[in-house]
Amino acid sequence: MGTHLRKLYPVVTALLLTVGNSLPALAQSSLDEKLQALQDAEPAEATRLTREIEREWSQSGSTSLDMLLRRGRDALEEQKPDIAIEHLTALIDHAPDFAEGWHARATAFYMKDLYGPAISDLEKALTLNPDNYNAMFGLGVMFQEFGDNVRAERAFQQVLDLHPHHENATKALEQLKAQGIGRTL
């Protein structure tokens, strides 16, 4: 019996490695499906999908890194951008490919009126995750503040292309159209 089990060991190991290595692909596939479903979702379903998508975006794969993100976001909610920047910079230092860390730190920089670093972090977040409609919305807000309403309108429209029920992007686009931006004759 022992010899039989020893012969199965490489087979079981290979099977476990195959399944284990396919989990990130399955997670990405699931995320892609949710983003696609968001396109045609009814409002209630869009709310549920949004929560699920953003929860996945917030998972780095490490509990300690997730804790840094949580601490950074808590500091943002408490209007303490300096503390948020410290936590989020530590997160980015340890996980430079984690898009949500860049996005959250951009928010902290924006709160401190540090627009250059905020834009740089948003660009990095969007490079890592081009589907991050919240980072795209943040870019649109900054364009609007700079008076670049044409680029703001484009950014808000891209948000709505990704997430048709994004309330803030809808309101921002309506506001720009009321000012004459994006209307056709």
Residue-level pLDDT at 179: 84
Residue-level pLDDT at 177: 87
Is residue 22 scored above 80 in pLDDT?
no
54-72 per-position pLDDT tens digit: 999 999 999 999 999 999 9
Query: Which pTM was predicted?
Result: 0.80
Q: Quick one: what percent of the chain has pLDDT higher than 90? A: 79
Q: What is the dihedral of CA 94, 121, 85, 74, to 10 degrees?
A: -90
- Residues with Cβ within 8 Å of residue 141, at least 6 apart in sequence: 152, 172
Q: What are the DSSP calls for 121-165, one per residue? A: HHHHHHHH-TT-HHHHHHHHHHHHHTT-HHHHHHHHHHHHHH-TT
| Span 142-167, average pLDDT | 95
3-state secondary structure of 25: helix
